[in-house]
Structure 1
Amino acid sequence: MPRIPLLSALAAQLIGALIVFGCAFLLTPLTGIRFPLMALLAAQGVVAALLGKRLRLAPWWVPIQLVAPSAIAVAYLWQIPAWVFLLAFIGFVLVFWNSARGGVPLYLSNNKTKAALATLLPEKAGLRFVDLGTGLGGPVLALAESRPDGHFTGIESAPALFLVSRIRGAISGLSNIQIRYGDIKTTDLGSYDVVYCFLSPVPMEDLYAKAKREMKPGSLLISNTFEVPEVPADETFEVDDGRRTRLYLWRF
């Protein structure tokens, strides 16, 4: 069963609390020192962040783990209404559903990367392109505008992001774009000439195996930033942007 990052993060916080508050409970009678609550919560965040690295949580979990205990305590002391937490949690889930469930953060392709993608697309009438985890739909919208002869699909499973990208697609006026709510694992890749993704290291091995099974001869898989373990790319394209983005290409 795949590890769920959110559960790993919660486990790290629980273990961190047990360690820090357990040590404080044992040391206070021996030393006579009463440790301030906020200091203990800060220590809990540090321990949880370190444990998160051991549990192979993505790097962006580190600041969340560090500040979560103190932030919750401050919110409690300020008597913030419970519905605020509920709304914040719902908003987090709607936007970062893939991050919490499958270790895939929200990454957005910049304009130079979109321009680079346009140069990598085959000169084929009726080209079919899919962006797996399209986020706000940026690449799909840009490519659909530059290539009116192709058909461009975006797949997104985070509800809020899907809604935003769907609205953007609708108001764009482009007839060669489709935004679909769906999961990468259940999306059939066999009907596409180009599959693009900007995910994380977590799903790349499984995605490549799926692409190899389903994609037709002559098709192309493009990954922004993240490589497939032990499968060298057939071509690497370096984008001339501030972060030196690399696009990895596998041809089938």
Structure 2
Amino acid sequence: MPSSKLARQVILRLTEETGAGPIIDLGCGWGNLVIPLALKFPHRQIVGYELSIMPWLTAVILKKVLRLKNLQLYRQDFLKSDWSGAEVIVCYLYPGGMDSIKNKIESEESDIRFVVSNNFALTSHQPDKTIRLNDFYNSPVYLYQLKSTR
């Protein structure tokens, strides 16, 4: 399920507060968020993971058309991928997916400092910011700072 335009705008704004390190989009789908991230932050490394072939292929084509050299797209399970070096995760997952990323962050020597999540909370942490969208569901977008700035 792609993030709404309003959610994308809020996520892009919140990622401005996350420094200059690499950003990972977990489940980047058709590129609706990962492409705007790469365009907005041309000096940051942006990485997207997607398992489904058609959405992944569409995002790859957009990356090539837009010549986004700071964007890497992988067709693989993000839970089996290497997040070393990345400082920020953006995601629109489900509660079980949020638990899985929490477990991965806690079980590995992770550099992840921030998580920006559309709709679903990281239940083990208190969000530093919660922005409610002006939509039918009053959907939340959460910003978590897991580690302080170096």
TM-score range, shorter chain: 0.7 to 0.9
Taking a change above 3 Å as real, the CA distance of residues 123 and 135 of structure 1, as seen in their structure-2 partners, is closer
Alignment check: 8 A CA contact 1:130 1:196 kept = yes
**2:118 matched to 1:224?**
yes
Number of positions where the alignment pairs a residue of Structure 1 with one of Structure 2 = 144
5+ residue gaps, structure 1: 1-106
**CA displacement, residues 75-123 of structure 1 (integer Å, 9 cap, x when unaligned):** xxxxxxxxxxxxxxxxxxxxxxxxxxxxxxxx10122222212221236
RMSD (CA atoms): 2.0
**2:110 matched to 1:181?**
no
| Cα distance in structure 2, aligned partners of 1:190 and 1:170 | 25
Alignment check: 8 A CA contact 2:23 2:46 kept = yes
| Cα distance in structure 1, aligned partners of 2:140 and 2:85 | 26
**CA displacement, residues 129-179 of structure 1 (integer Å, 9 cap, x when unaligned):** 110000101111112112222121110011222111111211122221111
**2:65 matched to 1:171?**
yes
Alignment check: 8 A CA contact 1:114 1:143 kept = no
**How far does residue 240 in structure 1 lie from its aligned partner after superposition?**
3.6
| Cα distance in structure 2, aligned partners of 1:243 and 1:149 | 35
Greater relative contact order structure (CA < 8 Å, 6+ sep): 2
| Cα distance in structure 1, aligned partners of 2:23 and 2:119 | 19
Alignment check: 8 A CA contact 1:197 1:224 kept = yes
**2:44 matched to 1:150?**
yes
5+ residue gaps, structure 2: none
**How far does residue 223 in structure 1 lie from its aligned partner after superposition?**
1.5
| Cα distance in structure 2, aligned partners of 1:161 and 1:202 | 22
Question: Any residues of structure 2 matched to 1:85-96 within 5 Å, and which?
Answer: none
Please name the residue that 1:77 is paired with.
Answer: none
* AA matched with 2:19: K
* AA matched with 2:67: G
| Cα distance in structure 2, aligned partners of 1:161 and 1:235 | 30
Q: Which has the higher helix share?
A: 1
TM-score for both structures, normalised by structure 2:
0.83
Larger radius of gyration: 1
**CA displacement, residues 25-71 of structure 1 (integer Å, 9 cap, x when unaligned):** xxxxxxxxxxxxxxxxxxxxxxxxxxxxxxxxxxxxxxxxxxxxxxx
**2:110 matched to 1:215?**
yes
* AA matched with 1:200: Y
Alignment check: 8 A CA contact 2:18 2:114 kept = no
| Cα distance in structure 2, aligned partners of 1:238 and 1:117 | 12
Identity %: 25
| Cα distance in structure 1, aligned partners of 2:69 and 2:56 | 18
